[in-house]
Structure formats: structure tokens, C-alpha cells
Amino acid sequence: MGVTMNYQTLKIDYQSAVQRIQIHRPEANNSINSQLIQELLSALQAAEADETVKVVILEGLPDVFCTGMDFQEVADGTNIDPKASSHDYYNILKQMSQSSKVIVSLVRGKVQAGGVGLVAVSDIVIADETVTFVLSELLFGLLPACVLPFLIRRIGFQKAYRLALTTQEISASEAYTLGLVDEYGSNTNKLISQYVKRLKYLPSSGVRELKNYISQLWIIQSETQELAVNKISSLLGDPTVQEKIKRFNNEGVYPWQA
């Protein structure tokens, strides 16, 4: 059986070869703060170490999957080392992409910025019809630096570039057309069960071999992580960017509304 630890930002449930990890920060719109990063990486590593786990289901709340970086943490200045946090976030994506478990994301409601990265790196993505995706970083003078390597791998260069450039919100059907979502509909439990009943019989060693082989066909290497982390941490250190984030966090004013 899986071991459940006492997480503050996650809810963990284990049942019959399936580990469900729910991002649970309703008070912060399921945004990613330093505690969530550490706990999610810990939960993924614990699932990896558990031989009885074959499938990991990552989900959020019914109205919001994940909204990316916690601007409150940035505005408060509590995130004192953006480079370390960016490395840790990237390590979550790397952990998911290299895991011997099949990672299935169940996405509902809002998926923004870093939340898109969690979806892009998942092996299977199931969405309901309420889901919306948006890469909003450029609005604040930031870049989805850690997200893009994995998003490009999933949907292709131009499609990923357009989402980052236009900051355009897309629906479930649009995400399905792009390849960001594998299946969508109103009965997500049925869609997931159809996958899980087959995936849970796959040997973890085979899943790991497939992911290792796929990774060697793609450009995501250690240099990619350094490039991504250095870019986002340098932008977060820009006083103009910090001011835009603080104003949005405190007043809800977007940069173009100033």
C-alpha cells in the first residue's frame, strides 16, 4: 500500500495501483508557492519509490487546476531565491517526464502559466469541458521559460510559440485540437478509468525504458534546464517586472491597464 504523508498543499489518496495527488491550495487559487513545489516533488518521488504504484493521477480543484507562480509570495519578497525555486519547479517537470509511473493529469477549470507545464509534461491529459489554458507570463514581462521545452515537445514549436506570444486563452476543444489534451468530456471519471484499467498492467520498467528512449530523441537536456532557470530568475529580478507583479497582486490591475 502507498504511504500517506502529512502534506499541507496536497491531498493524497491511494487505491489499487493508482496514486491520486490533488493540488489543494483553494485559498491561493491553487498557485505554486515554495511549499507546494517541495511537497509535490516529495509526493512524486514517494510514488516513484512505491512498487505497488503504477499510475499517478494529478488533479486540482473542480474550478481551478493550477494558476502557476504564487504572485503573493513574489510580492511579499518571501521567495528570496527565484533561481532555486525555478530549479525546483523544473525538477518537478523532469521527475514527471522521467518517472516509471504513468502520469495522468485530470484538468478542470483554470490552467495558467506554470500549471500548463504540469499538463504539458504529463503522459496522458484528461479534461472536462470547463477547462481553459493560458500562458500569461509575457503580460508581466516574464517568459514561460521552464514550460516551453515540454510544451514544444507535446504540441510543436509554432503552436507553443503562439500560445506564449499571444497569451491567448484556449478552451478544451482548442486544446484537444492542439494536442495539449488527449481526451475531454463531461464524464472524466469514465475517461480516466478507460485508461487506468489498461495502464496499471504495464511494467514500470517498460514505462521507464520508453520515457528514457523518447527523451534521447528530444532536446531537453541539462543545458536546457540551466537556460530556462537562468532566464526566468533574471526576469524575476527586474524591478519593472516586480512592480507589475505587485500591482496585479495588490490591486488586480494588469500592466496594460496602468
123, three cell numbers: 503522459
- Strands laid side by side in the 18-23 sheet: 10-15, 18-23, 55-59, 102-107, 124-127, 183-184
Give the DSSP H or E segment for 11: strand 10-15
Spot the catalytic one: 59, 70, 73, 123. Answer: 70
Q: Which of 44, 47, 41, 39 is nearest to 9 (CA)?
A: 39
| Ordered DSSP codes for 95-161 | HHHH-SSEEEEEE-SEEETHHHHHHHT-SEEEE-TT-EEE--GGGGT---TTTHHHHHHHH-HHHHH
97, three cell numbers: 517526464
Active site residue 182: no
**64 backbone dihedrals φ, ψ, rounded to 5°:** -155, 125
Residue type, 26: P
Residue type, 188: T
Active site residue 238: no
* Strand 124-127 to 102-107 pairing: parallel
Spot the catalytic one: 48, 59, 123, 137. Answer: 137
| Catalytic residue annotation | 70, 137
